[in-house]
Amino acid sequence: MRIGVVAASSVANPAVVAPVSALAAIAYPEIDLVFHPSAFAEAGHFAGTDAVRAAAFVEYANDPSMDAVWFVRGGYGSNRILADALPRLNDAARAKTYLGYSDAGFLLGALYARRIGHPTHGPMASDIGRKGGDETVARSLGWMARRDRSALEPGLAGHPSAAFNLSILSALIGSPYLPDLTDHVLIVEEVSEAMYAIDRMLFTMANATQLRGIAGVRLGAVTAVRPNEPDWGETLDQMMERWCRDMHVPYLGRAEVGHTQANRVVPFGVA
């Protein structure tokens, strides 16, 4: 199995190549990891210019010898290549798994909206740097190579689902790149935001006409929460319950996704 690794967002660290490649060679010998030559390019904030990142993504997505496209890291920037990259995808691109999370959610959502391939939320190559990163990254490798169900978020229960970072979801709302999530369970997670900012993004979610018809909402990890002055005075679960009431959908509790070592795999649709 050939998995193409590309950078669609922020500058990535080339130090991930050796440990990720070693893990794949030992635990998943059937995998051939192929890092795109531009995966560690630099153009200011970004892993190469928008044109370079779009070209790399399209090249590997359209390559019939590649079985999957794996994003090396998130950050910011994959939204800037959507208009350029998506119209250039061919039939080979429609057969692939695309796996990442965080900023990669822009591409996953846009691909799912167009029914291109198998968009999947899951750990990226850069997660090898986390404490216990081998275990984290192995979930994605195991899913891509063997459809290892132990990698899946345990609460999926056969329901169509989709997982997004809340900031990315908020940015997708109102755009042509947000997929139709009717009858899906929507899973959201967040990192490095204050409670007021999380509440504001949930307002956007709860009032989005594009999200009418979802089956419910689950909350993944919310980490590195910035201080709120004064104290917010409400828990995350209370916040979720309040906005889900406004949305007229059930709040279905917690999920094991997010910017943590425990991040798990969520295929868009039914696993």
Per-residue pLDDT at 157? 84
Q: Which residues contact 145 (CB under 8 A, 6 or more apart)?
A: 1, 3, 28, 30, 31
Neighbours of 183 (CB within 10 A): 11
pLDDT tens for 67-122 read 999 999 999 999 999 999 999 999 999 999 999 999 999 999 999 999 999 999 99
Per-residue pLDDT at 158? 85
Per-residue pLDDT at 256? 98
* 24 touches 141 (CB < 8 A): yes
Give all domains of the chain, ordered by start, each with its CATH number. Answer: 2-151 (3.40.50.10740), 161-267 (3.50.30.60)
237, 238, 243, 248 alpha-carbon torsion, rounded to 10°: 90
Per-residue pLDDT at 111? 98
Query: Any idea how long the chain is?
Result: 271
Q: Which of 1, 226, 7 is nearest to 96 (CA)?
A: 1
In the beta sheet, which residues pair with residue 189?
Answer: 165
- Beta-strand relationship, 266-267 and 118-121: antiparallel
Binning pLDDT at 50, 70 and 90, where does residue 239 land?
very high
Query: Is the pLDDT at 259 greater than 90, yes or no?
Result: yes
Binning pLDDT at 50, 70 and 90, where does residue 271 land?
confident
Query: Is the pLDDT at 205 greater than 90, yes or no?
Result: yes
Name residue, tokens 């199995």. Answer: 1
**Residue type, position 97, single letter:** T
Over residues 4-28, mean pLDDT: 97
Over residues 236-260, mean pLDDT: 98
Over residues 54-73, mean pLDDT: 98
Q: Which of 218, 153, 157 is nearest to 189 (CA)?
A: 218
Over residues 28-54, mean pLDDT: 97
pLDDT tens for 107-160 read 999 999 999 999 999 999 999 999 999 999 999 999 999 999 999 999 998 889
Mean pLDDT of the chain: 97
